Chain A
Amino acid sequence: MNEFFDFIMARVVPALNTGLWVSVQIIVPAALLGVAIGVTAGTLRVYGAKPLAKAMNFYVSLFRGTPLVVQLYFWYFALPYISIGGFNIVLSPMMASIVAFALCSGAYQSEYIRGGLLSIKKGQLTAAQALGFTPVRSVVSIVLPQAFRRALPGCGNEIIYLIKYSSLASIITVNELTGVGRGIAKATWKNTEVFMVVGVYYLILVTVASFILKQLENRLCIPGFDSNRSS
């Protein structure tokens, strides 16, 4: 038991701490970008002009319809071979991960946002227009703030997922939590011990994220949009 504990403290924890930091550097920008993409895509899917709405629907079906691993491979391995106007874009493993996770997450987020938008009574849009709001302004000022509150629990759920699928970055050589864990496990043959600790790290990450999301929900909470109501 003591030996196990020493091994964890001496070898696993210091390494995982560096991996944790890498994970956070992927998760935070990917989650924020994902929400931004989701809000934009979701809004365009509901209120956008036909061609834009269709383009966004296509984006969502493409990114929800293909495995994330394939998307990661695309951004990291395939993209450098595609010449765009004479340029070839080469993404670092970190950048490729952030791009892949943000776009994948955005596709799911747009679905939650779309649901939120559709739950807002149309009359408020009519009322805004009757007051002289332009259609764009009435969506941005009136409908979106409400839709976002309705969508928040779902959006938070997607962020929690993102934390866990960020582990896939390890397959394109990023030394984040899972990648570091796999390294130690391979070197020491202590798979069970190492991955148990890796699991605990993710659990902590998710717990912290849930706490932050809950704070955000409370902060945005207003009467009529109460997500804790018991009725």
Chain B
Amino acid sequence: MTAQTPLLRVENIVKHLGGHRILDDVSLNVPKGRLKVLIGPSGAGKSTFLQCVNFLLPPDEGKIFLEGREINGASKKELLGLRQHVGMIFQDFNLFDHLTALENVRIALIKVKRMQKREATERAMDELQRVGLVDKAGLYPAQLSGGQKQRVSVARALAMDPKLLLLDEPTSALDPELIGEVLAVIRELAKAGMTMIMATHQISFSASLADEFVFMEQGRIVERGAPSELLGKGRASRTQAFCAKLNELTGENAE
């Protein structure tokens, strides 16, 4: 770990939902330009954790610091500001169904950032260019494939110039043949130095990009470390056991 202040510091987050302790004392530091990958079984609290980071679900306990400043969850203004700096990608895309791809990317620029329409359109087209969808700008979500929808949602998040991107299983709802195009976009982002936290089951893909694997189970971080460290041969890690099980199911080869 470097001496610099991490872009995001999460300290001892606790979250209860429906009487269950979904997050139990979770802490995480994310230095600028790094990719942290959350893995673990469903119900481990990965999604809840990501939603706590931008206060879509306000944590019950614990503190969150963005660039060293503590986020005051009680201030609405501060929360809206925070969310402009933290982009989010969802498992089922959550595109706005009544807007074209271009309008999806543009709307927050106009309504939230108060940009002029022309400027916002230019910016939105740049982002669509980045995810390779300029030719689909005029199409509605219903006319796009799953992979294209997810790329639009990435463009929508990027247009806001986020300092941090949260990805909640971005490929889990996709047909296998569409996963590659989304992963390619994520790879480019990682290479370009975007700071990200990604919950995913794409172990072998993320192993090549992640700085750290964070293995969660029952609301706790049970293991963490460099991918090579956790997945290395001859290690009896929880992560490895989980990945072996995943590979068995998907038929993916560990090597």
Given contacts A131-B156, A141-B107, A223-B142, contact A126 B56 (CB under 8 A): yes
Given the complex of chains A and B, what is the CA–CA distance between A103 and B141 in angstroms? 37
Q: Is B199 part of the binding interface, using a Cβ–Cβ cutoff of 8 Å?
A: no
Contacts of B143 in A (CB 8 A): 223-224
Stretch at the interface among B61-69, B79-87, B123-131, B228-236: B79-87
Q: Is A145 part of the binding interface, using a Cβ–Cβ cutoff of 8 Å?
A: yes
Contacts of B54 in A (CB 8 A): 130
Q: Is A227 part of the binding interface, using a Cβ–Cβ cutoff of 8 Å?
A: no
Interface size, chain B (Cβ < 8 Å): 30
Chain B 140-179 interface mask (CB, 8 Å, partner A; 1/0): 1111000000000100110010000000000000000000
Given the complex of chains A and B, what is the CA–CA distance between A131 and B96 in angstroms? 12
Q: Is B92 part of the binding interface, using a Cβ–Cβ cutoff of 8 Å?
A: yes
Q: Is the CB of A127 within 8 A of B90?
A: yes
Please tell me which one of the listed residues A121, A123, A124, A131 contacts residue B108 in the complex, with CB atoms under 8 A apart.
Answer: A131
Q: Is B88 part of the binding interface, using a Cβ–Cβ cutoff of 8 Å?
A: yes
Q: Is A222 part of the binding interface, using a Cβ–Cβ cutoff of 8 Å?
A: yes
Given the complex of chains A and B, what is the CA–CA distance between A224 and B140 in angstroms? 8
Q: Is the CB of B96 within 8 A of A124?
A: yes
Q: Could you tell me the dominant secondary structure of chain A's interface residues?
A: helix
Contacts of A149 in B (CB 8 A): 98
Q: Is the CB of B96 within 8 A of A224?
A: no
A192-213 interface (Cβ within 8 A of B): none
Q: Is B97 part of the binding interface, using a Cβ–Cβ cutoff of 8 Å?
A: yes
Interface size class of A (residues with CB under 8 A): 20 to 34
Q: Is the CB of A146 within 8 A of B160?
A: no
Q: Is the CB of A224 within 8 A of B111?
A: no
Q: Is A133 part of the binding interface, using a Cβ–Cβ cutoff of 8 Å?
A: yes
Contacts of A126 in B (CB 8 A): 56, 90, 94
Please tell me which one of the listed residues A134, A141, A145, A222 contacts residue B80 in the complex, with CB atoms under 8 A apart.
Answer: A134
Given the complex of chains A and B, what is the CA–CA distance between A131 and B107 in angstroms? 10
Q: Is B226 part of the binding interface, using a Cβ–Cβ cutoff of 8 Å?
A: no
Name A225's closest neighbour in chain B (CB-CB): B98
Contacts of B111 in A (CB 8 A): 133, 137, 141
Name B residues whose Cβ lies closer than 8 Å to a Cβ of A.
54, 56, 76, 80-81, 83-84, 86-88, 90, 92, 94-98, 107-108, 111-112, 139-143, 153, 156-157, 160
User: What 4 A-B pairs come out closest when comparing CB atoms?
Assistant: A224-B142, A127-B94, A123-B94, A132-B84
Write 9 A-B pairs (CB below 8 A) sorted by A numbering.
Answer: A123-B90, A126-B94, A127-B88, A127-B153, A128-B96, A130-B88, A132-B84, A134-B76, A224-B142
